[in-house]
Amino acid sequence: MTIRVASYNMRKAIGLDRLRKPDRVLSVLNELDADIIALQEADRRLGERASAIPRDMIEAESPYRAVPIENRPNSIGWHGNAILVRKDHEIIHGEPLFLPMLEPRGAVLADLRVRGEPVRVVGMHLDLSGLYRARQAKMLVDHLGERTTQLPSILMGDLNDWMVNSRALKEFQRHHQCAACGP
């Protein structure tokens, strides 16, 4: 089975023109045509940390819905991380994952059924510090290994890492393999 996935740091729906335009981001997400999308910086940074794209807008103007994380009423995720899935895929479970950090970062986990097949997805936005990134990667790998139910897993997001042999990527590669990116 082929699953099309995408990860997108939407930077709170603020474009290069410095305007917040959720419809512009939603247009990009629709164009991706993925089964599952991991979002980073999906929530506003201050106040109630509401979603930069309102949940009702996602559901009305796209083929997606947000995996419920149940953290804040107007948020679609946790610490800016969210997972969108096509409406015809089953959401079994969603939860926040707590990571050691210097700055507000985190991850979200979703157990899904895509075209009848179970899959676990982790969406993440890792720390800028290489030391903390490696710790976060280890914690995520350990967390997945400790789950009572093991499922095929997809880990994706903004790793803030550009080195092929970084400690964080090596940690992920202990039990996972890197997939080629692109069309």
Structure-block tokens of residue 130: 């290489």
Structure-block tokens of residue 17: 């023109």
Residue ranges with strand state E in 98-148: 106-114, 117-125
Could you give the 3-state DSSP secondary structure of residue 36?
Answer: strand
Could you give the 3-state DSSP secondary structure of residue 21?
Answer: coil
State how beta strands 5-9 and 36-40 pair: parallel
pTM recorded for the entire structure: 0.94
**Candidates 1.10.287.610, 3.10.310.10, 3.60.10.10, 3.30.300.30; correct CATH number of 5-172?**
3.60.10.10
pLDDT at 122 exceeding the cut of 80: yes
Reported as a single tens digit per residue, the pLDDT across 138-167 is: 999 999 999 989 999 999 999 998 888 889
State how far the Cα of 13 lies from the Cα of 99, in Å rounded to an integer: 24
Residues 6+ apart with CB under 8 A from 163: 169
DSSP string, 59-104: HHHSSEEEPP--SSTT-SSBTTBEEEEETTSEEEEEEEE----SSS
The one-letter amino acid at 150: Q
C-alpha separations of 117 from 49, 62, 90 in Å: 33, 23, 10
Reported as a single tens digit per residue, the pLDDT across 3-60 is: 999 999 999 999 999 999 999 999 999 999 999 999 999 988 766 778 899 999 999 9
Q: How confident is the model at residue 101 (pLDDT cuts 50, 70, 90)?
A: confident
The pLDDT of residue 145: 93
The pLDDT of residue 131: 79
